[in-house]
Structure 1
Amino acid sequence: MTEASKIEKANALAKDVFLANLGLAGKIFEQSQDLLKQTEAKLKETESKCKDAYSKRNEFFDSLVARGEKVQNDTIAKFEEGKTELSSKIESNKSQAVAKFKDTKAQAIAKFEELKSESNAAVEGQMKTLRESFDKVKSKVSRNSDEVVETVAS
């Protein structure tokens, strides 16, 4: 190969390398343009989602407030229900206790009256026995006094 053909070949190779580099630069430019377009699209989509979320923030906040009110109302209702049940049980137990107390009191009064009657009967029986004994002693004393009076008179 001659020197001119070598130079031509080198020029052709240099030209091809230059064109390959130019083609690579064009390809990189096209891909960067596509990537830029995709990034812009995603940015617009993200921006849209942000705007949508931002616009729905009041709606979301309001829904949370409504949910909080519902939880509060449910809790208050449960508390009131429990309070009512407890008050009812307390009243029921109180009524039962009062009824039992009155029943026990009535039984105690009846037993007291029974014991009082028995005691009065026993006391009256003792008094009758004492009167009879007293009458016997009185009659003996009367006889003995009559005997003493007779003995002294004689």
Structure 2
Amino acid sequence: MTEASKIEKASAIAKDVFLANLGLAGKVFEQSQDLLKQTEAKLKETESKYKDAYSKRNELFDSLVARGEKVQSDTLTKFEESKTQLTSKIESSKSQVVVKFNDTKAQAIAKFEELKSESNAAVEGQMKTLRANFDKVKGKVSGSSDEVVEAVAEATAS
């Protein structure tokens, strides 16, 4: 092999290496362009998801606020209903207690009056018996005192 053919061969190899490097650079450039396009697409997709999530965050927050207002309203309504029912039950129980108290009071007064009448009748009966016995004793004492007076008179006369 001659020197010129060696140079020509080396020149061809160098040219092929240069072209291979140039092809590699082209391939890297194309792949980086594809990668850039994919990255831009993913960035846009991510940005879209972010915006969607951000808008949904506001929707979610607003729906939670609306739900909270509904829960509060329902709770207040149920509280008022329970309060009304409880007040009604208390008033009903109060009325029943008052009626029972008045009935018991009336029964107690009637029983007291009955016992008072019975007691007065018993006392009157006892008083009549005592008066009768007193009259008997008085009669005997009066009779005895007359006898005593006569006995004393006789004794003094003799």
Shorter chain as denominator, the TM-score bin is: 0.7 to 0.9
In the alignment, which residue of structure 1 is the partner of 2:102?
102
In the alignment, which residue of structure 1 is the partner of 2:67?
67
Aligned residues: 154
> Normalised by the size of structure 1, how large is the TM-score?
0.79
After alignment, is 116-125 or 63-72 more displaced? 63-72
Deviation by residue 1:131-153 (Cα, 9 ceiling, x = unmatched): 01111011112211332343345
Unaligned runs of 5+ in 2: none
Q: How far is 1:54 from its partner?
A: 5.5
Deviation by residue 1:27-57 (Cα, 9 ceiling, x = unmatched): 1111111222222233334444555566666
Q: Following superposition of structure 1 onto structure 2, how do residues 1-154 of structure 1 map, counting pairs within 5 Å?
A: 4-51=4-51, 61-154=61-154
Distance 1:89 1:13 in 2: 108
After alignment, is 71-80 or 105-114 more displaced? 105-114
Matched letter for residue 111 of structure 1: K
Deviation by residue 1:103-136 (Cα, 9 ceiling, x = unmatched): 2212221221222122112211211111011110
Distance 2:94 2:140 in 1: 67
> Normalised by the size of structure 2, how large is the TM-score?
0.77
Distance 2:17 2:120 in 1: 143
After alignment, is 96-105 or 49-58 more displaced? 49-58
Distance 1:30 1:12 in 2: 26
RMSD: 2.7
Matched letter for residue 79 of structure 1: F
Matched letter for residue 129 of structure 2: T
Distance 1:2 1:104 in 2: 144
Identity of aligned residues (%): 86
Q: How far is 1:19 from its partner?
A: 2.1
Unaligned runs of 5+ in 1: none
